């Protein structure tokens, strides 16, 4: 089995923080992001362009992007992404220097209404024109299907419903597609089957995944996704995170745990795991509690001297 090069998309500053009650000051976020950049990870999601009344943690998203819009604050090899839910969010992101737009549609009727106050069909009718507009403006775009593997409210999500949304993306010429396990219901066999089905729809599709570790299967699901050609994996520092509009919010796969796992397999040894662990320790100290990440507790057994 030959795996694609795996790119790490750190979503801690957005997904990792959005459910936290203690709002992180802008200066602290900048310190964390600066150290994430030195680790050698590929993409960092700085925030989402949402109403701060509903997600107070994201109130400084525009300012954070503006800080990193200057060359002296950002090395060229790192890409900064931002999540948008509607046209206003896209306008804000365009104005403050977002390099990569992430946007998506939930396959769950209930989750879609709670998250965006739109049905999946309505959200799709708006997301596709937004994605095409961003592409036309020279931006990178990743579209997603949220709750692709199940929903705490609606239960099992039919496979055909997920693939139906994917087909709409592909028909619009959008080929950077992520499946998000918003509720953490995925299992490895399901992951392999669903990503393989997308690959059969279009062999040129660029696949990404986003798993929550609600039931302890996060890393196993990442590996299953890698086996089917997924090349972008979204994770969060320390295993923070969770969607505030799911029935049971739970953390993401820990960035350090994924990187440690990859390095045990001889992959992505260019990433400085110690830098990532340092950030996770700072985040843990800020919130005053132990984070879910395993390697943060146990320490690394990767021996860089051996290759």
> Domain with 151 in it: what CATH number?
3.20.20.70
Say which residue the tokens 């397999």 belong to.
265
User: Is there a domain that residue 264 lies in?
Assistant: yes
Residue 94 structural domain: 7-40+67-72+83-306
User: Is there a domain that residue 62 lies in?
Assistant: no
> Which tens digits make up the pLDDT trace of 159-203?
999 999 999 999 999 999 999 999 899 999 999 999 999 999 999
CA dist., res. 278 & res. 99, Å (int): 26
Q: What proportions of the chain, in percent to the nearest 5, are helix, strand and coil? A: 45, 15, 35
User: Is there a domain that residue 110 lies in?
Assistant: yes
User: Is there a domain that residue 285 lies in?
Assistant: yes
**How many domains are there within the chain?**
1
Active-site residue 222, yes or no? no
User: Is there a domain that residue 100 lies in?
Assistant: yes
User: Is there a domain that residue 156 lies in?
Assistant: yes
Q: Kind and range of the H or E element at 197?
A: helix 188-201
User: Is there a domain that residue 53 lies in?
Assistant: no
Residue 80 backbone phi and psi in degrees, to 5: -105, 125
Instruction: List the catalytic residue out of 151, 209, 222, 243.
Output: 243
Ranges under pLDDT 70 in the chain: 1-2, 242-250, 304-307
* Confidence (pLDDT) at 19: 86
* Confidence (pLDDT) at 131: 98
> Which tens digits make up the pLDDT trace of 25-52?
999 999 999 999 999 999 999 999 998 8
User: Is there a domain that residue 154 lies in?
Assistant: yes
Residue 76: how many CB atoms within 10 A of its CB? 6
CA dist., res. 38 & res. 34, Å (int): 7
């Amino acid at each position: 089995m030959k795996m694609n090069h795996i790119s790490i998309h750190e979503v801690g500053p957005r997904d990792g923080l959005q459910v936290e009650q203690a709002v992180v000051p802008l200066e602290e976020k900048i310190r964390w992001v600066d150290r994430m950049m030195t680790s050698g990870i590929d993409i960092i999601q700085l925030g989402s362009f949402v109403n701060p009344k509903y997600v107070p943690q994201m109130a400084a998203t525009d300012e954070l992007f503006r800080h990193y819009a200057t060359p002296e604050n950002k090395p060229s090899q790192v890409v900064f992404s931002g999540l948008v839910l509607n046209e206003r969010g896209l306008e804000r992101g365009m104005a403050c220097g977002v390099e990569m737009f992430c946007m998506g549609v939930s396959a769950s009727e209930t989750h879609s209404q709670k998250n965006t106050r739109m049905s999946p069909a309505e959200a799709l009718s708006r997301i596709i024109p937004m994605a095409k507009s961003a592409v036309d403006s020279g931006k990178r775009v990743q579209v997603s299907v949220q709750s692709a593997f199940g929903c705490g409210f609606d239960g099992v999500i039919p496979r055909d419903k997920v693939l139906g949304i994917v087909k709409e993306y592909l028909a619009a010429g959008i080929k950077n597609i992520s499946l998000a396990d918003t509720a953490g219901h995925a299992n490895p066999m399901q992951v392999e089957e669903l990503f393989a089905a997308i690959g059969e729809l279009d062999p040129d599709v660029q696949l990404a995944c986003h798993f929550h570790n609600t039931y302890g299967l996060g890393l196993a699901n990442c590996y299953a996704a890698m086996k089917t050609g997924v090349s972008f994996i979204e994770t969060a520092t320390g295993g923070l995170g969770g969607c505030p509009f799911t029935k049971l919010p739970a953390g993401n796969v820990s960035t350090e745990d994924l990187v440690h796992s990859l390095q045990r397999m001889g992959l992505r040894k260019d990433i400085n795991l110690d830098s990532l662990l340092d950030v996770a320790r700072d985040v843990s100290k800020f919130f005053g509690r132990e984070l879910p990440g395993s390697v943060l507790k146990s320490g690394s057994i990767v021996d860089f001297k051996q290759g």
